[in-house]
Amino acid sequence: MIFKEALLIKYGEISLRGDNRRLHEKRLLRIIRRRLSRFEGLRVTRENGRFYVESDAEDFDYESVMPVVFKVLGIVGICPCLMTDERGIGDICETALFHMNRAYTGKPFTFKVKTRRANKSYPMRSQEISAAVGEYILNGMEMSKVDVHNPDVTLCVEIRNHIYVYADTVKSLGGLPYGSSGRGMLLLSGGIDSPVAGFLMAKRGVDVTAVYFHSPPYTSERAKEKVTDLAKALSAYTGYFKLYVVPFTDTQLCLYKQVQPEKLTLLLKRAMLRIAEILAEKEKCHCLITGDSVGQVASQTTQSLAAVETAVTMPILRPLAGMDKQEIIELARKIETYDISIRPYEDCCTIFVAEHPETKPKKAAVEAAERHAQGLEEAIAEAVAGAEIIEAEA
Q: Please report, as ranges, the residues that interact with Mg ion according to CB under 5 A.
A: 189, 191, 347
Residue type at 126 in one-letter notation: S
Residue 185's alpha-carbon distances to 201, 237, 279, 293, in angstroms, are 10, 16, 8, 18
| Binding at 297: pick from Mg ion, ligand ATP, none (beta carbon under 5-8 Å per type) | ligand ATP
How many amino acids of this chain bind ligand ATP (CB under 6 A)?
20
Interface mask toward ligand ATP for 208-247; x: CB under 6 A: ----xx----------------------------------
Rg (CA), the chain: 27
Mention every residue, 6+ apart, whose C-beta is less than 8 A from residue 230. Answer: 188, 190, 195, 337, 340, 341
18: DSSP letter: T
Main-chain phi, psi angles of 113, to 5 degrees: -115, 135
Site for ligand ATP in 161-190 (CB under 6 A): 187-189
| Binding at 97: pick from ligand ATP, Mg ion, none (beta carbon under 5-8 Å per type) | none
| Binding at 299: pick from Mg ion, ligand ATP, none (beta carbon under 5-8 Å per type) | ligand ATP
State in angstroms the smallest separation of the CB of 269 from Mg ion. Answer: 11
Residue 66 interacts with ligand ATP (CB under 6 A)?
no
Q: Which residue's CB is nearer to ligand ATP, number 13 or number 346?
A: 346
Site for ligand ATP in 290-349 (CB under 6 A): 290-292, 296-297, 299-300, 347-349
Q: Which residue's CB is nearer to ligand ATP, number 9 or number 188?
A: 188
Site for ligand ATP in 258-277 (CB under 6 A): 272
Consecutive H or E run containing 133: helix 126-140
- Cα 10 from Cα 27, distance rounded (Å): 15
| Binding at 235: pick from Mg ion, ligand ATP, none (beta carbon under 5-8 Å per type) | none
Q: Bridge partners of 209?
A: 185
State in angstroms the smallest separation of the CB of 318 from ligand ATP. Answer: 9
Residue-wise burial string across 111-121, b where 16 or more C-beta atoms lie within 10 A, e elsewhere? bbbebebeeee
State in angstroms the smallest separation of the CB of 387 from ligand ATP. Answer: 12
State in angstroms the smallest separation of the CB of 305 from ligand ATP. Answer: 10
Q: Which residue's CB is nearer to ligand ATP, number 176 or number 268?
A: 268
Q: Concatenated DSSP letters for 276-308? A: HHHHHHHTT-SEEE----TTSSGGGSHHHHHHH
Longest dimension (CA), the chain: 85
